[in-house]
Structure formats: structure tokens, C-alpha cells
A and B are shown apart, each in its own frame.
Chain A
Amino acid sequence: MKELQEVSKETRNLYWKKNIRLTIFTMVIWFIVTYVCAFFVKELNNIVILGFPFGYYMAAQGSLIVFVWLIFNYAFKMNKYDKEFGVEEEEEK
């Protein structure tokens, strides 16, 4: 585990804090598009776009689109943080 010597403890802690913030952000959005939208589905269904009641749409497709975005967003941000804090991987062979 020589990587622990290569990266100082402070840097690792800062990096981990950034990670936790991004994780919380991701989980909050995740929670809203699934559970909060489902909880208020009846109210949301009063909005109709292209024939789709909005509450129904969120469960059928809307939340899915947000999930895909959330994961890619997380991946790109984390890969950026890796470089910022110098904890990125050695060159892939």
C-alpha cells in the first residue's frame, strides 16, 4: 500500500471530503426524483406535457434520465478530483 505514503493524510482527507459532498449531492437528487416525486405524484399529474402526466412521466422515464446523468456526472467529477488531489492512477498500460 505504498500509495498511502505517496499521498499525505491531509490531502487524502480533503479528497475524501470532496467525495462525500458529491456523494451527498448525488443521493439527494436520487431521492428527490424517485421518492419525493412518487410521494407527490397525484399533484404532479396535474401538469401534462405531450400527453404525459408529469408524475407518471417521472416514474416511467424522467427519473431514469436523471439517474444516467447522475452517474456520469459523478464519474467525471471524481475523475477530475483525482487529478486535482494527485490521487489518480498510474498510467494505464
Chain B
Amino acid sequence: MANGKSSFLDNLGKIYLMYTGGFILFVIALGFGEKMGMSNAAIGYTYMGITIGLYALIGISSRTAKVSEYYVAGRSVPALFNGMATGSDWMSAASFIGMAGTIFGLGYDGLAYVMGWTGGYVLLAVFLGPYLRKFGQYTIPDFLGARYGGSAARTIGIIAAIIASFTYLIAQVTGVGIIMSRFLGIDFQIGVFVGLAGILVCSMLGGMKAVTWTQVAQYIILILAYLVPVTVMSYNTTGIPVSEVMYGQVLQKIDAKEKAINADPKEIEVMGLWKVESEKIAADMKDVPAALAAKNQALEDKLAALPVDAPAADREAIQKSIAALPKNPTEATEKWKAAKAAADGKSKPIKPYLEPFARLDMLNMLALTFCLMVGTAGLPHILMRYYTVPSVKQARISVGWSLFFIFLLYFTAPAYAAFARNEVLSNVVGLPIASLPAWMANWAKVGLVSFKDLNADGILQFYELTIGADAIVLATPEIAGLPYVVSGLVAAGGLAAALSTADGLLLTISNSLSHDLYYKMINPNASILKRLTISRVLLVVVALISAYVATFKLTIIVELVAWAFSIAAASFFPALVMGIWDKRANKAGALTGMWLGFSMCLFYMIGSRFYGLNWFGVKTISSGLFGIPLGFITIYIVSRLTAPPSHELQEFVESVRIPRGSAQTHAE
């Protein structure tokens, strides 16, 4: 067995190169299949079957009964491969499918996500990664427990790790369900549970070891899937297949088109219609309960007035509209507020795509960037990955590789957005409604694209069209005129992104419970077999709970994911950084700092989201802006007001600061 393992590690490069080549051949073969008349559904099933089968194969062949392999992949993952694994661990369904769409919609201001989700790795590289590797245990709460002496710090760590990871996990499971249902045409609920099986088979038998090697495989698929369509699109539009460089030309075209649209009398007419719509909603909102009752009554009357022999479809349409009405005044207020904001947005000329701070003001854009950066460096499922490399030296390099592999996707996202926006402005807006391109009808069917001829001139105006953020990446293959096999590839890439992130999160949560809570706090004498069995059982339980929650499709989940960053940023980051960089930081300081940072963050989140709290106009999503500094300051001050940490703890900090001695933590 030992031999088998080392030969696998020695040949990693060759193995994954062959895997990549094999996958490309598989895609080409499917392309021929499509030419020969293979149906779209068959292509979809083949993709899902083959990719999930591959992940399962890797997962099962990486099964292990060793604690250090289960928790930290035996600390034998080379820097480069840990970088790839971190890349797919990090890039979620939202990064893969939604990021380009966010930039498409927000223009310059959307780049807060691009900078935030990459710049955080610089913080991780210099403040945490190498030191955590030197410390070399199994989880992040492990570090808090060791550094701040005892169960209290560990417990806060467990709670924060679970809160941050669980909301994130539900979003991934939801993403899996959506991709499955959209491309296989199966029910969302079934999609969730099929995806879940795919997640479990990768992580249950081999823990971190299996997750690592599947994540590398998933990274390769997701990056291929992301780069192919936009490269072709760049070739089609500019004649040069390097989208990341060529979209500069497109930016200029976008600017010119937007100006033309803003001057077009037909467009101005549509803007006027949206203004009327906005005023209508404003009138309704003066007395929500009455307006809601009136709307309900109007529809009921219409239903009652239908002649007995009216077609069933008419009746159903009205019943559907009744069902779609908000259930109560609170829901109505939420919905109408959003509708009014949307209508207001569409009643004004287009804000230039390149104009900074047109949609988010400068403070909010910078605050968001900051919170995402610090959150990135504080999320336990990412930090954990740096325990798996063989040395401190490799940990440092590995952060570089991680960001490089993430960079490949994020560097391309703005190009995706620009090409798509150019396509919409140049080749879609202004077309007769009757002859819109086929891709729009396809995505309109699933609700990602919608259009309505408001001014009834038979021509599509810019503001008559609504494009969902997810549509940009998903529809690009069709916009670029690529065969369905590429659309399937994109779906497989999205699935890989969601599955790989879900694997990492699931492992973080179940390890927090099995290792930190059970083994370290409840039963330190548990045998290895017992520890691993409990880990595996918890993995299944957590996965089932997350799938169950995901089936409710709660709309708040998307928001909660964004909150997870601020939570991780305000609770983990200050205590971890101070634990390494401030020898004087002690238990009392860390405990109060973590609680205050966490509570302040939560207080502002809930206050600003639900009760109109507003400090300097900072939005809910950037709540960490207050929690992070408060955490740092509290740890600093309280530590100095109380007794310094023991000599042993100070020595511990000294030892974490130098790489020498890391081999001691190598063996279990």
C-alpha cells in the first residue's frame, strides 16, 4: 500500500495530464456524437454520468483508515496540486455561473467581487497560511484551542465555522440541484439528492485525501468549461481568440452603443413607461393591505366573469396570477419595494458600463471589497487546505498557485461580461421581437431571460429586456453559435464548481463536530476507528440536513452566503492573525474579541437588513466593516489589561513563526 501511494504521488503530473487529455477526447467524441444525431438529453446525461462517475472513482480509490489521511490528506499534497484543489474548493457555483453576470449588471462596481475574492489570498499568504502549516494540526478550531488555551476559544471557533460553512453549503447544494434539473430535465428535489450522492461518494470513504484528488479533477473540468466558450466568442467578435486581452476593444463599442441607446426616442419612450409603472407601485405602497386586497379582488372578479365555455387555459392563467400574488402585506412590501427599485432603474438613461461608482457608491464598493478579502482569508474550508501540504515552504508557494488557478477564471470573468453585453447591445436590442435569436427563447423558457414589448412597436428596446445574472455564462455557448456539446460542458463545469466547494464545506463542518467537539472535548480517548466512524456518520447527517434545507429553495440563502464572508472575517480573522502576530494576545482578549467582532457583525447585519439601521450608508453585505476592526482592537486592548499568556504559549508563538521543526507535525 505504501508503495502504491508513493507511485501515485510521484506520477501526479502524468496522471492528471492523461486525465485532461482523456477528458478533451471525450468532449470531442461527444461532439461527433452530436453531429451523428445524438440528442441534447443524451449528451446531458452522458456528461453528468461520466463526470460524476469519474469523481466517484477517485473518491472510492482514495479511501483510507488513517486519521492523518482522512483529515489532512497525509500532508502529502504538493504545492501545485494543492493550488488546484484550493481553486475548485474556493470557486463555487456562484463564481462559475454568477460572477460574469454580476459584472454584466453592475459594470465597474461589480469588480468589487473580482478584487475581493482574489486579494484575500494576499492576506492569507502573508498573515496565516505558512504559520498554520507550521502549527500543523487538523482544523482551525485546533489552532484557536492551542493558542488561546482551552475549550472556550475552540467552541467559538466551532460555532463560527459551522455558521459560515453551513449557509454556504446549502447554496452549493441548491446550485447542484438547479444545474441537474436544468440540464437533465429532472425534478429539482431529485437533482439535489442525486448531487448529494455525488458529494458523499467523494468525501465519505477518503475524507480530505479523497476530496483533494477529486477537487483537482474538478478544477480541470471547470476551467476548461469556463475558458472554451468565451475564447470562441472572442475569436468570432475580434478575430483573435484571447478574450482577456481583446475585450478592451469591446468596452469602447459598449460605451458608444449605450450613448446611442440613451438618445434613441423609442428608448426614451420605454423609460417613460417605466416611470409610470414606478408611480403605480408607489401608489400601491401607500396602503399595502388595501392595494393587495384590491388586486386579489380584481382577479377574482375577472375569474368569476369568465364565461362558462371559456378555454381552460384562460382560467388557469388567472388562477396562476392569483397564486402569484404576495401572501401577506409584509411579503407584498418586500416584493413591491424591489419591483419599484427595478422600475426606477429602468426609467432613467443607462448608466455607462465603465463609469465607476454608478451603482454602488465608493464607500460601499471599497467596503465590500475589503470584507470579501478578509472573509476569504478567514474561511475555514480554505485555511484547512494549507494543512495538507508537506512543508511550510510548500505552503507559501501553494498560496501562490491557489491564486494563480483562481485568477485564470476571475481574470476572464470581466471578458465574459463585456462580450455578452456587447452582443446584447449590438445584436439583440433593436431587433424586431418576432425575429429574436433562438438562445433568448431557450433561456426565456426557464425564466433567466425575459422581454416584453412595452411600447408595442414590435421592436425590442434595451429596457424591455431583463437578463438574469446566471444567463451570461450559461448562454454564451449558444450566443457564440457553438454546438450543444459545449453547453453541456459548461453545465458539467458548473456542476464541478458546486460539487467541489460542497465537498470542502461538508468536510469542514463534519470535522468541526467529530474532531473538535467529539474527540477534543467530549471523548479524548476515542479510538481511531471510532473517530473515523463518527466523522463519516456526521458527514452523511450534515449532508442530508443541507439537502433537506435546500429543497425549500429559500430566497434568503443567496444573501446569507454573502453574509458568511463578513461573519468569517469578523470572528476568525482577527483572532487567528493576532494569535500569530501578537505574542501578548491572550485568552481573555481573544474570547472577548471574537465574541464582540462576531456580535457586532451580526448586529449590523440584522439591524440594517430588517430594521433600517444605517451607519454611514454601509450596506448589509459589508457588515464586517465594523466587526473586523472591533475584533482587532478588542483583542489588543483586553489582552493588555489582563495577564500575559504563559511562557509555554509564548514559546508556542515563537515556534510557529519559524519553519524549522515542521516535520514533527508530519506524522500522526
Contact = CB atoms under 8 A, between A and B. Distances in A.
SS class, residues of chain A in contact with chain B:
helix
B657 A38 contact: no
A52 B394 CA distance: 36
Contact of B658 (A53, A64, A87): A87
A4 B655 contact: yes
A60 to B, nearest CB: 4
Contacts of B394: 92
A38 B407 contact: no
Interface string B444-467: 000000000000000000000000
Nearest to A35: B366
Contacts of A64: 114-115, 118, 407, 410-411
Contact of A42 (B114, B356, B397): B356
A33 B357 CA distance: 17
Contacts of A57: 248
B382 to A, nearest CB: 14
A92 B403 contact: no
A87 B659 contact: yes
Nearest to A86: B660
B651 interface: yes
A66 to B, nearest CB: 9
Interface in A26-64: 26-27, 30, 34-35, 38-39, 41-42, 45, 49-53, 55-57, 59-61, 63-64
A85 to B, nearest CB: 8
Contacts of A34: 115, 119, 369, 373
A92 to B, nearest CB: 5
Contacts of A41: 108, 356-357
B619 interface: no
Q: Identify which of B250, B252, B390, B400 gathers the most chain A CB atoms within 10 Å of its CB.
A: B400
B252 A51 contact: yes
A60 B399 contact: no
Interface string B634-668: 00000000000000000110110111111100100
Interface string B609-646: 00000000000000000000000000000000000000
B390 A68 contact: no
A51 B251 contact: yes
B662 to A, nearest CB: 5
Given A64-B114, A74-B125, A1 B651 contact: yes
Interface string B384-406: 00000011111011011001100
B354 interface: yes
Contacts of A45: 354, 356
SS class, residues of chain B in contact with chain A:
helix
B130 interface: yes
B400 A3 contact: no
A7 B660 contact: yes
A15 B651 CA distance: 16
A3 B654 CA distance: 10
A84 to B, nearest CB: 12
Q: Identify which of B357, B396, B655 gathers the most chain A CB atoms within 10 Å of its CB.
A: B396
Contacts of B390: 92
Contacts of B111: 56, 59-60
A71 B454 CA distance: 52
A50 B658 CA distance: 45
B245 interface: yes
Given A52-B248, A89-B391, A61 B369 contact: no
Contacts of B123: 30
Interface in B419-455: none
B663 to A, nearest CB: 5
A23 B608 CA distance: 35
B540 to A, nearest CB: 35
A74 B251 CA distance: 34
Given A1-B655, A4-B654, A75-B400, A38 B125 contact: no
Given A64-B411, A87-B659, A79 B393 contact: yes
Interface of B: 108, 111, 114-115, 118-119, 121-123, 125-127, 130, 244-245, 247-252, 354, 356-357, 362, 365-366, 369, 373, 390-394, 396-397, 399-400, 403-404, 407, 410-411, 414, 651-652, 654-655, 657-663, 666
Interface of A: 1-4, 6-7, 12, 15-16, 19, 22-23, 26-27, 30, 34-35, 38-39, 41-42, 45, 49-53, 55-57, 59-61, 63-65, 67-68, 70-72, 74-75, 78-79, 82, 86-90, 92-93
Pick the 9 closest A-B CB pairs, nearest first. A51-B248, A3-B661, A75-B396, A59-B111, A60-B414, A87-B658, A52-B248, A71-B400, A3-B660
